[in-house]
């Protein structure tokens, strides 16, 4: 009998629209059928994901996060604190999903889960602003940097990119 691989799966319950939450059981089925024992953790607030990954992810074969660009950034920030970094899978579930659009990732959560299980991993550049602030895809600074983070989630859901 073969031993299943271990997955740490984070879901941001406040990210994006209902599609992510409505697809949760189907995503778990994909992961389980792919040979993973899945530990699920809904994020509880800012830095929760980063702290969990920094503390626990070294004991897992794969980390997956489902949410928006901010969720992905928190996951990367946690992984970069580890000496041994398991691969990271990303299921876009935010309002805008700039990173997913740029990388050509599926916006369908179940299809994205299948891509994680059956796809081919690839490297992605990561940078830092000092010892504990990591970024990938793009870094911003200046007067309007915090606009995306300070926009209320309800406004982002209603207006999308326009928010």
pLDDT in tens, 133-161: 777 765 444 454 454 545 555 554 455 54
pTM: 0.81
Per the prediction, the chain carries an average pLDDT of 83
The secondary structure of the chain, three-state, reads CCCCEEEEEEECCCCCCHHHHHCHHHHHHHHHHCCEEEEEEECCCCCHHHHHHHHHHHHCCEEEEEECHHHHHHHHHHHCCCCCCCCEEEEECCCCCHHHHHHCCCCCHHHHHHHHHHCCCCCCCCEECCCCCEECCCCCCCCCCCHHHHCCHHHHHHHHHHC
User: What's the domain count of the chain?
Assistant: 1
pLDDT in tens, 48-66: 999 999 999 999 999 999 9
The CATH number linked to 133 is 3.40.50.10330
């Amino acid at each position: 009998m073969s031993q299943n691989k271990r997955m740490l799966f984070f879901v941001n319950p406040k990210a994006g629209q209902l599609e992510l939450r409505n697809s949760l059981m189907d995503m778990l089925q994909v992961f389980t059928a792919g040979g993973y024992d899945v530990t699920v953790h809904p994020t509880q607030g800012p830095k929760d994901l980063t702290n969990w990954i920094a503390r626990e992810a070294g004991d897992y074969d794969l980390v997956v996060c489902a949410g928006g660009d901010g969720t992905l950034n928190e996951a990367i920030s946690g992984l970069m604190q580890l000496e041994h970094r398991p691969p990271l899978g990303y299921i876009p579930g935010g309002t805008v999903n700039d990173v997913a659009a740029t990388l050509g990732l599926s916006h369908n959560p179940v299809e994205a889960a299948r891509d994680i299980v059956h796809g081919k991993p690839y490297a992605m550049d990561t940078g830092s602003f000092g010892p504990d602030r990591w970024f990938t895809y793009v870094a911003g600074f200046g007067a309007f940097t915090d606009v995306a983070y300070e926009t209320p989630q309800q406004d982002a859901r209603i207006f999308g990119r326009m928010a």
